[in-house]
């Protein structure tokens, strides 16, 4: 039984989500204690319990004595047999945070899996689903055929968003050693910038989506490449808005499965915050990522770490965040000392593991 200190590093819920993913993929049970120790609302949160319920469907996982506020968790994964998992997180609980516990095992399941999830599609301290679709997913195309569909957006506080993800893995736990390694150390030449500026129909009269998009585009045009930011409105339970931008670096003007290079940025709208400010903040963030000359942005890095642990390789990151270091810690509890960090060049390398 692997034992993990849940207060390590930034001591957030990231350790639990990553441990659940790797435990399920590798079929290694674990125990974690001191969960979110030192936080105002320490212990497990409702989102972690939703992760556990989803994993029950995915692999008939076993766990005991857990509730909101629990400081410890004992988890025993079962065999990955499910071909469809349906989860309703409730309210605006983050869909992409839930995915952090499900994606790695789905990519190594050896058979197709469909995930149908209801909850929040964007919000504070989470990856918007637009970022997942257009920045994160392209980097995983060499390991699975991925089809994503955003059926409905869900904003805080009522949520009500809905997505579907179909994953047809190309590898499994037994043959993952033959999979290509992740190699993202050169940014390449900037080819184009894309984006989605979205808002609920409640904000359409105020032209919020267009104002966010126009503000971002006016700053990004100085980079000398085509800028295409789509503005869209949607029926939602709560009012809200946001913008996700991504820069594509590729010889063929589009990322490919074998050679993707995409960095992104995103900002969520807030009550009382001008739409123009939302757009300009997202643009400034993307410009910083482009100017870093790194092919992996700060938020992409921590999401790639579990896949780097599974398949090996190297990534150059604009900034190595506490979340990224926490994910490295969690991965090494299952796989041993497999990561090396070049602090001077912000390069993270992983030799992978042979199981």
- Is the pLDDT at 253 greater than 90? The verdict is no
Any domain includes 42: no
Spell out the residues 6+ positions from residue 332 whose beta carbon is closer than 8 angstroms to its own: 338, 339
DSSP states along 32-59: EESTTTTSTT-S--HHHHHHHHHHHHHH
Any domain includes 61: no
Centroid of chain to Cα 235: 24
CA dihedral 230, 232, 236, 239 (to 10 degrees): 90
Residues 193 and 173 in one domain: no
Spell out the residues 6+ positions from residue 93 whose beta carbon is closer than 8 angstroms to its own: 46, 47, 50, 119, 120, 159
Any domain includes 91: yes
Residues 166 and 193 in one domain: no
Which range (65-69, 72-76, 141-145, 201-205) has the least confidence?
Answer: 65-69
Domain count, the chain: 2
- Is the pLDDT at 292 greater than 80? The verdict is yes
**Band (251; pLDDT cuts 50, 70, 90):** low
Q: Looking at residue 95, what is its pLDDT?
A: 96
What CATH number did the domain enclosing 247 receive?
Answer: 3.30.360.20
Could you tell me the residue range of the domain that residue 110 belongs to? 83-122+146-177
**Band (354; pLDDT cuts 50, 70, 90):** very low
Q: Looking at residue 355, what is its pLDDT?
A: 43
DSSP states along 58-117: HH--EEES--TT-S-EEEE------SEEEEE--TT-BHHHHHHHHHHHHHTBSS-EEEEE
Residues 251 and 231 in one domain: yes
Any domain includes 198: yes
Integer Cα distance of 111 and 142 in angstroms: 16
Any domain includes 154: yes
Q: Looking at residue 246, what is its pLDDT?
A: 98
Domain-ending residue, one of 235, 267, 291: 291
Domain-ending residue, one of 263, 291, 319: 291
**Chain segment 309-329, per-residue pLDDT in tens:** 999 999 999 999 999 999 999
Residues 226 and 287 in one domain: yes
Residues 196 and 270 in one domain: yes
Residues 93 and 159 in one domain: yes
Q: What angle do CA 132, 118, 255 make, to 5 degrees?
A: 15
Residues 265 and 244 in one domain: yes
**Chain segment 177-219, per-residue pLDDT in tens:** 899 999 999 999 999 999 999 999 999 999 999 999 999 999 9
Residues 199 and 169 in one domain: no
Q: Is 111 one of the annotated active-site residues of the chain? A: no
Of how many residues is the chain composed? 355
Q: Which of 48, 139, 299, 323 is catalytic?
A: 323
Residues 202 and 285 in one domain: yes
- Alpha-carbon distance values, 116 to 61, 168, 180 (Å): 19, 15, 28
Residues 238 and 153 in one domain: no
Q: Looking at residue 51, what is its pLDDT?
A: 95
Q: Between β-strands 113-119 and 84-88, what pairing exists: parallel, antiparallel or unpaired?
A: parallel
- Is the pLDDT at 96 greater than 70? The verdict is yes
Q: Running DSSP on this structure, what letter comes out for residue 282?
A: H
Residues 275 and 196 in one domain: yes
Any domain includes 116: yes
Residues 264 and 171 in one domain: no
Q: For residue 202, what are its two tokens? A: 């409640």
- Is the pLDDT at 136 greater than 70? The verdict is yes
Mean pLDDT score of the chain: 93
Domain-ending residue, one of 255, 274, 291: 291
User: What pTM was computed for the model?
Assistant: 0.94
Any domain includes 303: no
Q: Looking at residue 157, what is its pLDDT?
A: 95
Any domain includes 338: no
């Amino acid at each position: 039984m692997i034992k993990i200190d849940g207060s390590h590093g930034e001591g957030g819920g990231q350790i639990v989500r990553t441990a659940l993913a790797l435990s399920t993929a590798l079929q290694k049970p674990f125990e974690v204690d001191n969960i979110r120790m030192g936080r105002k609302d320490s212990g497990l949160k409702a989102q972690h319990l939703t992760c556990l319920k989803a994993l029950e469907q995915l692999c008939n996982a076993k766990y005991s004595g857990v509730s909101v506020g629990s400081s410890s968790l004992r988890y025993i994964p079962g065999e990955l047999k499910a071909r469809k998992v349906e989860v309703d997180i409730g309210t605006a609980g983050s869909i992409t945070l839930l995915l952090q516990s499900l994606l790695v095992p789905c990519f190594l399941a050896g058979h197709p899996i469909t995930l149908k999830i209801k909850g929040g599609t964007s919000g504070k301290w989470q990856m918007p689903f637009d970022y997942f679709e257009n920045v994160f997913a392209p980097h995983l195309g060499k390991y699975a055929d991925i089809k994503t569909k955003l059926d409905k957006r869900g904003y805080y506080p009522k949520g009500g968003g809905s997505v579907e993800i179909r994953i047809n893995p190309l590898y499994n736990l037994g043959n993952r050693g033959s999979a290509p390694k992740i190699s993202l150390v050169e940014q390449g030449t900037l080819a184009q910038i894309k984006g989605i500026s979205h808002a609920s129909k409640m904000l359409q009269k105020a032209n919020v989506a267009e104002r966010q998009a126009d503000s971002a585009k006016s700053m990004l045009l100085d980079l000398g490449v085509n800028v295409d930011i789509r503005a869209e409105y949607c029926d939602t339970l709560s009012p809200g808005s946001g913008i996700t931008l991504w820069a594509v670096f590729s010889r063929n003007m589009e990322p490919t499965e074998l050679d993707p290079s995409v960095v992104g940025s995103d900002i969520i709208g807030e009550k009382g915050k001008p739409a123009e400010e939302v757009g300009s903040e997202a643009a400034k963030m993307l410009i910083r990522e482009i100017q870093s000359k790194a092919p992996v942005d700060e938020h992409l890095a921590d999401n790639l770490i579990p896949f780097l642990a599974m398949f090996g390789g190297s990534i150059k990151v604009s900034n190595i965040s506490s979340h990224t270091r926490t994910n490295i810690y969690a991965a090494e509890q299952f796989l041993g000392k497999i990561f090396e960090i070049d602090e001077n060049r912000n390069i993270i390398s992983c030799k992978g593991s042979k199981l």
